[in-house]
Amino acid sequence: MSLERALSKFGVCSRKEASRVIEAGRVRVDGQVVVWPLRRIDPKRQRVTVDGRRVGDDAERIVLLLHKPKGLITTRTDPGGRPTVYSLLGDVGRWVFPVGRLDRDTSGLLVLTNDHRLGQRLTDPEHHVPKTYHVRVAGVPSAEALRVLREGAPLGRGETSRPARVRSLGSRRDGTWLEIVLTEGRNRQVRRMCAAVGHDVLDLVRVRVGRLGLGDLPPGRWRRLEAQEVRLLEGRVVASAADQEG
């Protein structure tokens, strides 16, 4: 495969960004600088490094859990200079990429990894990995509104959301908290679903991916997942009722 595709496949960056990284002389193949993005390589046999750090299937696997606060975007760099989640990570010793995205005004659980296979499993709609959100909406949704959210809300452009698990967590003067569990991840989906039933989103937090919960990790902090927790994400172990509480 081409070198630019390999960097994208291994989660280093997008293919467009990979071309810039390669042309800048930051990539080596078997110790030699390569500046041609379309250079054909065999990632199983050749050693690829970016800024001196090895990438590829045989690199040490890293899986991180970050509690993303509001105000950060989920990308490595931003041409407009907005702060990104990478400003919180520091040097973790490997390239990692975010598994899915949380928009600037959404907080909560974000997984970052250098394992492209894990990333694909968690984001591919065909795997039906549930993502759990706690959302505060304006007003009090009616029984009909909750029914539409559960059965499939119109998202515009001819799109309809998949059936979702939805329950009310209680109403207060400042709105109603809902728990919404999705098995797909369309752009700004929760906000679009709630708008479709007439309720603006005031707060949105992702509290769980699969069987991995956010727990008590403070906003802005991250930690490396234990092997048992990675197996939770991969669906290879069963969590107890008290385990991974989100």
How far apart CA 217 and CA 221 sit, in angstroms, is 7
Mean pLDDT of the chain: 89
pLDDT at 239 over 70: no
How far apart CA 12 and CA 124 sit, in angstroms, is 18
pLDDT at 15: 79
pLDDT at 180 over 80: yes
pLDDT at 80 over 50: yes
Tokens of 120: 């694909």
Q: What is the pLDDT of residues 198-217, one digit of tens each?
A: 999 999 999 999 999 999 99
Of 37-51, 193-207, 225-239, where does mean pLDDT reach its minimum?
A: 225-239
pLDDT at 138 over 90: yes
pLDDT band at 29 (very low <50, low <70, confident <90, very high): very high
Contacts of 65 by beta carbon, 8 Å cutoff, 6+ apart: 109, 110, 111, 212, 214, 217, 222, 223, 224, 225, 229
Which architecture characterizes domain 130-209 according to CATH?
A: 2-Layer Sandwich (3.30)
Q: Are 164 and 180 in contact (CB under 8 A)?
A: yes
Residues 122-143: what's their mean pLDDT?
93
Q: Indicate the CATH number for domain 3-55.
A: 3.10.290.10
How far apart CA 113 and CA 139 sit, in angstroms, is 38
pLDDT at 78: 78
Residue 26 exposure: Cα atoms within 13 Å on the Cβ side: 15
pLDDT at 43: 83
Give the number of other CB atoms < 10 A from CB of residue 227: 10
pLDDT at 244 over 50: no
> Quick one: fold of 63-125+212-234?
Alpha-Beta Plaits (3.30.70)
Ranges in the chain annotated CATH 3.10.290.10: 3-55
Ranges in the chain annotated CATH 3.30.70.580: 63-125+212-234
Q: What is the pLDDT of residues 106-115, one digit of tens each?
A: 999 999 998 8
For the annotated catalytic residues, the residue numbers are: 103
